[in-house]
Amino acid sequence: MVQLGSNGGRMAMTWRHIDWRRFLAFLPGAVLGALVASWLLIRLPSGVLELCIAVFVLVTCWGPDLPKRALSTTGTVIAGAVTTLLSSLIGASGPLVASFIKQGGGERHAKVATFSACMVAQHMTKAFVFGMAGFVFRDWLGLMLLMIIAGLIGTRIGLRFLDRVSNHNFEGLFKWSLTLLSLRLAWMGVASLTAG
């Protein structure tokens, strides 16, 4: 819910830059992924998904570009489904979605706005799934609101920075941020696998 509030605020602040074609292709995939996650009873061993996501993000950041078919409407629907499914299982799909959005080209405002819109779709579907599973949001409402407010303040500061940085510098910062996040995921995955 905190991520929904944070990304929702960023989406509202940058809505003019959203790539609506990509977002509307991502949306049905996100719904499908959430539905599959709500029925999924088998879970991979802790650590495996984290390592898979870390490897995918590192390959998309530092390897060759994804094929054009992967960035097509069908590819975007599939990305929406897969990332939402993974997100429902481990809650770490932000770097995965970001690395997919990064591959699509475009300028920095469009990437940030489209990423935020896709994450809003994911978090809304996840909130529905977890609510149906019995999570009581009301018990956490105060803490969630405070964290959302803090996230919105951070978003405003981040968007001021985004306005000042060039597209070229943004690409480098984005790539290294995703790399650090994926290395953290890899560390968490290895730690989970070796602890078990």
**Residues 164-193: pLDDT tens digits?**
999 889 989 988 998 998 898 889 888 888
pTM of the predicted protein model: 0.77
Average pLDDT over residues 130-149: 87
Percent of the chain with pLDDT over 90: 32
Average pLDDT, the chain: 84
Average pLDDT over residues 63-89: 80
Contact 105/99 with Cβ under 8 angstroms? no
pLDDT above 90: residue 23: yes
123: amino acid identity, one letter = H
Distances (CA, A) of 101 to 1, 119, 195, 196: 22, 11, 33, 34
pLDDT of amino acid 47:
74
d(CA 178, CA 102): 10
CB under 8 Å, gap of 24 or more: what pairs does 168-176 form?
A: 170/108, 170/111, 171/102, 171/108, 174/98, 174/102, 174/108, 174/111, 175/61, 175/62, 175/102
Residue 41's pLDDT band (cuts 50, 70, 90): very low
pLDDT of amino acid 92:
64
Average pLDDT over residues 29-57: 74
pLDDT of amino acid 90:
65
**H or E element: which one contains 83?**
helix 73-90
Better pLDDT: 195 or 118: 118
Average pLDDT over residues 112-138: 85
